[in-house]
A and B are shown apart, each in its own frame.
Chain A
């Protein structure tokens, strides 16, 4: 962080955010670095029944159990076998901790707020509520995700159900 603020070019906004970017197929996505706890190798995922397909299951993160989701399934993108570089980004949001499966993690980006355009209306075909904006860096188009909104309303209401009715684990 110290580096980032030290090299501010005059005239550029001080409001600079860091993003972690990752690839899903050929598209580059980004999440706010402040939401990222870490990145781990893909490990054994235990499937949990009756859930939407994109919730792949749960993993053991150093003794705590966290859910893992596959955004490609959520976004309806083509999905191949997991490869060597496939990894899990551990994110932390108001609903708890959640892992996101990514093909590769590519970069840590500093992006001033000006270079983030709000989401264009893309018609009814694509849901845009979990997209915070589009960023443009050196001709790369980065889709910035809103972690808080990845699980839809219905799913988060289910979330509050378990936090209320579960046993005293952990």
Chain B
């Protein structure tokens, strides 16, 4: 049973990866329909899923994948053209596949009847589009009968290689009855045939009659694949022109609109359902982050190499201690060994951390799908341009950044981007562009989302901020400060509030999520030109640089990212306001003092700031001085949770184990600053 589960979880991981591969491939295929390598990659991915699902007894899943694979095979053989309809259908199928695998992962039964529609449509695709249309104009030799040949045989021959959809005999050359010669052929035919064979195969049918006959065979370009069957048939029959069908289709409305017009359902209901549809897609998208990690073999090899080195050092130590080798217990030898050990320890730490690093491309590639879905819904044409997909981020950070990024991209499309009509009207290209860029600088990773939409409306933000009581008036605020107001709680400038976007909880949640990762988010916008949101993230969550300080009998760690400087103020620099709030004059700037021992309920060794040390910290341009007894120094610490059974404390971000085995609490500077701001 356990084995079985294990195999299954391996399958789930693999399948998820393959599905993403298929999805990514399909999206690219839409742009480069002729890329053979691409088609092969997608085909192989589907083929792998089919094979491995069958091998662990998931027959329905395997069967369904087989359907997908068949279509891909036809695309590969160039019998199907990967048009929009086909890609959409395959994407839908891969969604279903994803649902199947997710429900497998959560041990939920999957309702396979859901796939029926999809299977039928895939079948349609296979049957209809793969068959090429040929039109044959067959003007046979008048003396055909004399050669012992019969045109009926030809037509029978055509029926053997495909479906003869239309046959029309022209009788205009048939003479009056009295003049008919029984061994002459007066007829000619127009034949339409639908077949999977090539032109040469058709020509072969006419091989014997070719001489003296006039045979024209030309492929009929498949009409627009978006055209419904009826229209296609009418065009084939020659009754209606393709342009007329296209025109008629424009008039045709979506099911939802028709229902509304006939008062069958309220418009809001439809809207809700449509929103629900897109929400579902987003949900599905979120669920697909797995809990396992795929590691580059090189990284593992490197780690194993260093561990090997450590084993050698270990045996050298043994030699020294037991005195049974060439190594003598001299201070020089010990010192050399120790410094080697130190270097190896650092190497191991670094390469162990690098195992947790994943390229951001893993998350990015899913966004192209999201953009496609969202822009399709909104009558906006948006192209996603990605760069720096190879930038690596800690897996933990990467998982938590996905939601905020989804939200930001959704916002950019929903609120930032104009419809293509609006864009053309103001002289912008009809296609909007969203750039998603990642790069590393120092020990931070930056992710930027840049759109060329309409930008933020400065006046609207001010108006709203005043209405919501966020600010009193806009004087003294720089443009950037005003734009960044949208990150404050309860702020949403969207006029129209729907389920998908703009629930008014958007941007502040984004900011909170990013800050919980010790990251920062910033926004620049130019009206009419576009908006750039840049997110700064630490490389990793688990190890931080910290400033260790002493307070009472305990050590505390302050993350170095929030520390500006530490100093011992002169007595005359400590002032009080209203006898309540203390401030410290730091080179002319008055900064509020927080007596950490009061905050943390500790008996301190020193209460006088001019004898103790103050650490100047900042969070979102708010500066505070933290009063501590003494400084120990700066070091890298591994942040750990205080046990899952432990209640959360707002001013503690976690704990770390010091060299002496004791625990030091890591302070949560934003928590402390915000808490004190509230209580003052």
**Bound CA span A161–B645, Å:** 10
Distance in Å from the Cβ of A161 to the closest Cβ of chain B?
5
Tell whether A149 is near chain B: CB-to-CB under 8 Å.
no
B599-651 contacts to A, CB under 8 A, are 599-602, 638-651
The stretch that binds B, out of A2-10, A42-50, A73-81, A110-118, is A42-50
Q: Mark B549-560, 1 if CB is under 8 A from A, else 0.
A: 000001000000
Q: A46-B665, A49-B649, A155-B647 are in contact. Are A169 and B657 (CB under 8 A)?
A: no
* Residue numbers in B under 8 Å from A11 (CB-CB): none
* A46 lies within 8 A of B647 (CB): no
Provide the bound-state CA to CA distance between A60 and B656, in Å.
Answer: 9
Beyond A46-B664, A49-B599, whether A67 also contacts B396 by CB under 8 A is no
B652 located at the interface, meaning its Cβ lies under 8 Å from any Cβ of chain A in the complex: yes
Most chain A CB atoms below 10 A, which of B601, B639, B644: B644
Contact, CB under 8 Å: A165 / B648: yes
Of A97, A151, A163, A168, which one neighbours B394 at CB under 8 angstroms? A168
Which residues of the other chain, B, contact A159 by a CB distance below 8 angstroms? 644-648
In contact, B647 and A64 (Cβ under 8 angstroms): no
Which of the 9-residue segments A24-32, A51-59, A130-138 touches chain B?
A51-59
**Alpha-carbon distance A49/B655, docked complex (angstroms):** 13
Instruction: Give Cα A127–Cα B554 distance, bound, in whole angstroms.
Output: 35
Q: Does B516 contact A (CB under 8 A)?
A: yes
B662 in the interface (beta carbon within 8 A): yes
Whether the Cβ atoms of B642 and A47 lie closer than 8 Å is no
Whether A93 and B645, one on each chain, are in contact in the complex, defined by CB atoms closer than 8 angstroms, is yes
Q: A40 an interface residue at 8 Å Cβ cutoff?
A: no
Q: Which residues of B contact A124 (CB under 8 A)?
A: none
Partner of A65, one of B542, B601, B657: B657
Q: Which of B396, B516, B638, B648 has the most CB of A within 10 A?
A: B648
Residues of B within 8 A of A168 (CB): 394-397, 541-542
Complex CA gap A155/B183 in Å reads 103
Is B663 interfacial (CB 8 A cutoff)?
yes
Task: Give the residue name and chain of the A residue nearest to B658 (CB).
Answer: A60
| Residues of chain A contacted by B602 (CB below 8 angstroms) | 47, 49
In this assembly, does A158 line the interface, its C-beta being within 8 Å of a C-beta of chain B?
A: yes
Residues of B within 8 A of A60 (CB): 657, 661-663
Contact in complex: A64, B649 (CB < 8 Å): no
Q: Given contacts A60-B661, A65-B657, are A170 and B645 in contact (CB under 8 A)? A: no
Q: Which residue of B lies closest to A57 (CB)?
A: B663
Q: Residue B42 at the A interface, CB < 8 A?
A: no
Q: A46-B665, A162-B648, A167-B653 are in contact. Are A67 and B600 (CB under 8 A)?
A: no
Residue of B517, B641, B661 near A170 (CB, 8 A) is: B641
Are B600's CB and A58's CB within 8 A? no
A161 vs B662: C-alpha distance in the bound complex, in angstroms? 25
* A-side interface residues, number (CB < 8 Å): 35
In contact, B663 and A162 (Cβ under 8 angstroms): no
**What residue of chain A has the Cβ atom nearest to residue B518's Cβ?**
A167
| A95, B644: Cα distance in complex, Å | 6
CB-CB under 8 A from B661, the residues of chain A are 43-44, 60
Q: A60-B662, A162-B641, A168-B396 are in contact. Are A49 and B648 (CB under 8 A)?
A: no
A98 contacts the other chain (CB 8 A)? yes
A67's partner among B638, B646, B665 (CB-CB below 8 A) is B646
Contacts of A169 in B (CB 8 A): 541-542, 638-641, 654
B643-A46 in contact (CB<8A)? no
Bound: A97/B649 CA distance, A: 18
- How far does the alpha carbon of A142 sit from the alpha carbon of B677 in the complex, in Å? 50
Q: Is A38 an interface residue (CB 8 A)?
A: no
A167–B655 CB distance below 8 A = no
Q: Say yes or no: is A123 at the interface (Cβ < 8 Å to chain B).
A: no
Instruction: Give A48 Cβ to nearest chain B Cβ, in Å.
Output: 6
Q: Which residues of A contact B601 (CB under 8 A)?
A: 49-50
Contact call A163/B644, Cβ cutoff below 8 A: yes
Partner of A96, one of B517, B599, B645, B653: B645
Asked whether B650 lies within 8 Å of A50 as measured between CB atoms, the reply is yes
Contact with A along B480-493 (1 / 0, CB 8 A): 00000000000000
Interface string of B189-201 (1 = CB under 8 A from A): 0000000000000
Contact of B554 among A46, A165, A166 (CB under 8 A): A46
Interchain CB contact under 8 A, B646 and A48: yes
CB distance from B455 to the nearest CB of A (A): 33
**B394 neighbours in A (Cβ, 8 Å):** 168
Residues of the B chain whose Cβ atoms lie less than 8 Å from the Cβ of A50: 601, 649-651
Report if A66 contacts B (CB, 8 A): yes
CA distance A120 to B154 in the complex (A): 98
A44 touching B645, Cβ below 8 Å: no
Among residues of B, the one whose C-beta sits closest to the C-beta of A44 is B662
- Which residues of the partner chain B approach A66 to less than 8 Å between Cβ atoms? 643, 645-646
Q: Which B394-410 residues have a C-beta within 8 angstroms of A?
A: 394-397
How far is B654's CA from A89's CA once the two chains are assembled, in angstroms? 23
- By a CB distance below 8 angstroms, the chain B residues around A51 are 647, 649
Provide the A70-105 mask, 1 if CB < 8 A to any CB of B, else 0.
000000000000000000000001011110000000
- The CA of A65 and the CA of B517, in the complex, are separated in Å by 20
| Nearest chain B residue, comparing its CB with the CB of A98 | B645
Known: A49-B600, A60-B657. A65 touches B554 (CB 8 A): no
- When C-beta atoms are compared, the residue in chain B nearest to A150 turns out to be B645
B640 shortest CB reach to chain A, Å: 4
Cα A38 to Cα B602 in complex, Å, equals: 31
Q: Which of B4-42 contact A (CB under 8 A)?
A: none
* Chain B hits for A65, CB < 8 A: 640-643, 654-655, 657, 663
Could you tell me the distance between the alpha carbons of A162 and B652 in the complex, rounded to whole angstroms? 11
- Chain B residues with Cβ under 8 A from A47's Cβ? 554, 602
| B679 CB to nearest A CB, Å | 13
Contact A96/B644 with A167-B396, A167-B653, A167-B654 known, Cβ cut-off 8 Å: yes
B511 to chain A minimum Cβ distance, whole angstroms, is 14
The reply to whether B516 and A165 form a contact with Cβ atoms under 8 Å apart is yes
Q: How far is the CB of B392 from chain A (nearest CB, A)?
A: 15
Residue of B nearest to A67 (CB): B646
Q: How far is the CA of A63 from the CA of B640 in the complex (A)?
A: 9
CA–CA, A50 and B675, complex, Å: 12
Most chain-B CB neighbours within 10 Å: which of A65, A93, A96, A155?
A65
20 additional A-B pairs beyond A49-B599, A66-B643, beta carbons within 8 Å, are A47-B554, A49-B601, A50-B650, A50-B651, A58-B646, A60-B657, A64-B643, A66-B646, A67-B646, A96-B644, A96-B646, A151-B645, A166-B648, A166-B654, A167-B641, A168-B394, A169-B542, A169-B639, A169-B641, A170-B641
Question: Which 10 residue pairs across A and B have the least CB separation, nearest first?
Answer: A168-B396, A96-B644, A158-B647, A96-B645, A162-B648, A169-B640, A67-B646, A66-B643, A46-B663, A98-B645
27 A/B residue pairs, CB under 8 Å, sorted by A: A46-B554, A46-B663, A47-B602, A48-B665, A49-B651, A50-B601, A50-B649, A51-B647, A55-B647, A60-B657, A63-B657, A65-B641, A66-B646, A67-B642, A93-B645, A95-B644, A95-B645, A96-B645, A98-B645, A158-B648, A161-B648, A163-B644, A166-B641, A167-B517, A167-B653, A168-B396, A170-B640
